[in-house]
A and B are shown apart, each in its own frame.
Chain A
Amino acid sequence: MDLRDTPEEVDFRAELRSWLEENIPAELRGHRGGAARFDGPEMRAWSRALYDAGYAGLTWPEEYGGGGAPYTHQAIFLEEMARAEAPTHIGVIGLGMAGPTIMAFGTEEHKARYLAPILSAAEIWCQGFSEPDAGSDLAGVRTSSRFEDGHFVVDGQKVWSSFAHLADWCILLTRSDPESTRHAGLTYLIVDMHAPGVEVRPLKQMTGEAEFNEIFFTGVRVPADNLLGGVGGGWQVAMTTLLHERGTLGFALQAALEMQVRKLIALARDRGADQLQRDRIAREWIEMQAVRFTNYRSLSALMRTGLPGPEGSISKLVWSEANQRITKLALELLGPDAALWDGNAPYGGYWQYQQLRSRGNTIEAGTSEVLRNIVAERVLGLPKSR
């Protein structure tokens, strides 16, 4: 047990920190967040700069254009990005979900074709899993794919898809066997978002922004090669994607939480806090440290044994609820000014936006109810509720 950086990690962190200091474009630093931050060309340029400096796909194998670095480097990278309030690489879905899934299930041709453009931000990915009638219960997927003349023909509707309005590709979970139910008969496809029959409609959320979208597929023809895990093998592939979503998420969330607590402290120093509020601020700082060191434990277990520790499964659950409390506490510190929005509000409306946005945190990427089921059944070994 040694919680300090190794000499090699010290070097990596120092180099990264000075690179970030010199390279983050001023207009992107400390953005209040939200979907609109991804829409302009500057985000692609920033992502490309990360790639050129070797910081995209740090832990990906070198043969696919990654850095071949240990997971600790990825953790340091996310910590330093948050500390510098740097915007993330635009390829969130590609880097965290599509890429790892293609590495696990793709052919050599798939890997050669799709992985490098994810890293360089030349191509953006979105995810087509949830449907109006298949949310937490993903096995209820109905979007159909039928095989016809060497193509899959896709019809149906997906929802809550982040980046779909920018995306070039979609990882799509479909039902290829119309007679099947639940986990059988599902097929996982790579779909060109520019293909005829794909229509993206933005979904405006309570923040006023459209961060995610509905995607409608009408007779969309997908080449037979764009298949991961075989016809009918889609469920296992989808579970791999979600494992990566929750697995790689931990450190990103911890870094985000750390930034949020730091801003909360700065706000309290700026505007003052009474004794009760000070107690709550201390609680949030303590819980943030608890999440950090829980992630470190999980990461260390992963490095040592190849499997993340079970304690890693709680990161998202804890982060989402912490972020909701922190942002609400910040509004309290703002007093009557909390009612102001956007440009009229202190700090450009950062906290008002963040507080509303935080209500999505316990819903997206696995609802808190689903995550508690996962802890209860897979970690504690309690009998299954379904």
Chain B
Amino acid sequence: MDFTFTPEQDALREQAREFLGANPEPSWAQLAELGWTGVSIAEEEGGAGLTFVEEAVLFEELGRALYRGPYFSTVALTLPALPSDLRAEVAAGEASWTLALGPLVPDLDTAGRVATVGGDGIYELEGAEREVLTTTDETRPLGVVRGGDPGRRLADATVLAEIESRSLTALALEACGVARRALEFAIEYASTREQFGRKIGVYQAVSHPLADAYTGMELSRSLALWSAWCVASGDPQASIAAAAAKSFAAESAVSVCETSIQVLGGIGFTWEHELHRLYKRALGIESFGASGTRLRAEVAAALLNEGTEAVPATPSAPASVEQGG
């Protein structure tokens, strides 16, 4: 068992943080130039031939930086459905995608092409009218598509399970990045702001909620990275891990942002401070795709329903649930 990042993965994180710090609104071409659009795409298709674990590093950093663009919709939502030639276009930065899984479609303003689910497969949607809606979270616009015709058949519907695991995990990872940034703001503020003659971080009414925020963020990361590893290695637990990670990390990120807003007081409530943008992304992640309640219902079904296999306790060592109290 080894649950650490490799030096290369650590270097990727550093590169991402530095780049996104200097370029808060990077173009798709810039991401392609960095190799980010083809991380898990095979080398013969022009990608880096790496895994979802490396993409996980990027999702966390992109969440932290509140990146606006079609990375999530291309890499998490659509990539598993794309055939080889279209993957090569993504790796080269020539194409970006989004997938209309539900009525509200992300990144319609920036994604080049749109895929849709119909019948037993996933198709490219051609000639559809796109309308981008106003959203609370301005960094991840949602929209609707109207009309259009199914074009090329991209994949069989069986790929939807992988799309669900990838996208839920990517959202969980983004949520971890959002929570980390919000917590950094709060720690910095609590360490410098003085009231009643002392730094406010000395007051346990301030420091203990921050300790809880840290706890929530680390637990979220553990679930999200577990899930990322399951996705990357095709582990059969990927689906339940993704449900666990998204439900927990999204709610936790919302809560971390709320704690941070409270710690910053009036400043945290202003439009000027970045916190409200982090908060809105966290809320957006929570509402996108499946809610925590629905995901937990799935987890409960896997644990409790008649005829279900008890969920393995560790990746390699399945254990059965025994009857009795």
Contact = CB atoms under 8 A, between A and B. Distances in A.
Contacts of A262: 313, 319, 321-322
Question: Which of the four size classes fits the interface of chain A?
Answer: 35 or more
B190 interface: yes
B85 interface: no
A64 interface: no
Contacts of A147: none
Nearest to A5: B316
Contacts of B325: 263, 266-267, 270, 330, 346-347, 350-351
User: Taking each of B300, B315, B322, B324, which has the highest tally of chain A beta carbons within 10 Å of its own beta carbon?
Assistant: B300
Contacts of B202: 382-385
Interface stretch (B24-32, B128-136, B221-229): B221-229
A265 B210 contact: no
Question: Which of the four size classes fits the interface of chain B?
Answer: 35 or more
A277 B199 CA distance: 42
Interface in B240-298: 241, 244, 247-248, 293, 296-297
Nearest to A348: B325
B22 interface: no
B218 interface: yes
B185 interface: no
Contacts of B222: 289-294, 296-297, 311
Contact of A293 (B2, B3, B316): B3
Contact of B304 (A278, A293, A296, A350): A278
A381 B191 contact: yes
A290 to B, nearest CB: 4
Contacts of A267: 325
B207 A3 contact: no
Interface in A289-306: 289-294, 296-297, 299-301, 303-304
A69 interface: no
Contacts of B6: 1
Contacts of A265: 303-304, 310, 321
A10 interface: yes
Contacts of B322: 262, 266
Interface string B201-238: 11110011011101100111111011001000100000
Contact of A383 (B201, B221, B248): B201
A219 B140 CA distance: 72
A285 B303 contact: yes
B229 A270 contact: no
B26 to A, nearest CB: 26
A304 B321 CA distance: 33
A371 B207 CA distance: 11
B57 to A, nearest CB: 11
B304 A1 contact: no
A265 B300 CA distance: 9
Given A289-B244, A293-B225, A380-B214, A373 B204 contact: yes
B175 to A, nearest CB: 13
Given A266-B323, A318-B219, A382-B210, A3 B191 contact: no
A299 to B, nearest CB: 7
Interface string A346-362: 11001100000000000
A375 B212 CA distance: 9
Interface of A: 1-6, 9-10, 13, 72, 75, 79, 83, 258, 262-263, 265-270, 273, 275, 278-279, 281-283, 285-287, 289-294, 296-297, 299-301, 303-304, 311, 314, 317-318, 330, 346-347, 350-351, 369, 371-373, 375-377, 379-385
Q: Which 4 A-B pairs have the closest CB atoms?
A: A347-B325, A293-B222, A382-B201, A376-B207
Given A293-B226, A347-B324, A372-B204, 9 more contacts: A79-B314, A266-B325, A278-B297, A281-B304, A282-B299, A290-B223, A297-B222, A377-B207, A379-B214
